Amino acid sequence: MELVEAAREARERAYAPYSNFKVGAALRTAGGEVFCGVNVENVAYPEGTCAEAGAIAAMVMGGETRVAEVAVIADSPAPVPPCGGCRQKLAEFAGPEVKVTLATTRGETLETTVGELLPGAFGTGHLVSPSDDGA
């Protein structure tokens, strides 16, 4: 199935009673499997989670950790880009070249990449402090 279509189907199950803004996300892994997620809001607002985070959790639970393609869909006047936190989350599992399709339920799409969404991502290389090299 086309990835935007998978995200669209997933979106139907979003739990967004507070914002009424339902989001669906779908990830295709390097192995070709598709995992989906939706936003799940909470009455304690900051505890809500984004669709991308749900899709990543489903993928990890499915035993995969490498993302080859991403799609996100919402009912919005323009394709909705992932929030800052989700950009970092995606960068953990997807290289900068990975295609991200932002879609609206009205049929509009915008293609970008993980690297365009988050240039200069914080990565594992930054965790090594100069003193760790024995100096």
Per the rule left: phi > 0, alpha: psi between -120 and 50, beta: everything else, 107 is left
Number of residues that bind ligand THU (CB under 6 A): 15
Report the C-alpha gap between 85 and 71 in whole angstroms. 16
Q: Is 81 in a helix, a strand, or coil?
A: coil
Among 51, 56, 67, 70, binds ligand THU (CB under 6 A): 51
Q: Is 96 in a helix, a strand, or coil?
A: coil
Q: Which is nearer to ligand THU, 19 or 109 (CB)?
A: 19
Is there a catalytic annotation at residue 52?
Answer: yes
Examine residue 50 and tell whether it contacts ligand THU (CB under 6 A).
yes
Instruction: Kindly list the residues in this chain that would bind ligand THU in the complex (CB under 6 A).
Output: 16, 19, 21, 23, 39, 41, 48, 50-52, 72, 80, 82-83, 86
